[in-house]
Amino acid sequence: MSENGARQHGGNGGLVRVVRGALEQFAGLTQLEPVATTGVRREDDGWSVLVDVVELERIPTTTSVMATYRVDIDGDGELTGYERLRRFTRGSVDAS
């Protein structure tokens, strides 16, 4: 994160608030429970947050279908959009 981004949003505490707000709004819209935040990036007009969720629970859990979504948040902390970027099984590893 840039120094300007940290100052504009109250340092790391501001970033934590942005991410928590993004997760709450995303969960409210999609009814999907976020499992992890895997990335955060400052954009010109807000933030982009990568969120992993379980889309299909399976037994064993290593075969559950996961998805990564990009969640876009404006400068006021409001969700402006989201999209699924990829789906994968929980036990899979990205190729190097």
Can you give the pLDDT at residue 78?
97
Structure tokens at 47: 């933030």
The tens place of each residue's pLDDT in the chain, 96 residues long, gives 344 444 454 566 789 999 999 999 999 999 999 999 999 999 999 999 999 999 999 999 999 999 999 999 999 999 999 999 999 999 888 876
In sequence order, what E strands does the chain have?
34-43, 46-56, 65-74, 79-89
Can you give the pLDDT at residue 14?
87
* Cα 15 to Cα 77: distance, rounded to the nearest angstrom: 10
- pTM attached to this predicted model: 0.83
In this structure, the number of other CB atoms found within 10 A of the CB of residue 47 comes to 23
Q: Where are the domains positioned within the chain?
A: 3-89
Can you give the pLDDT at residue 94?
80
Residue type, 45: D
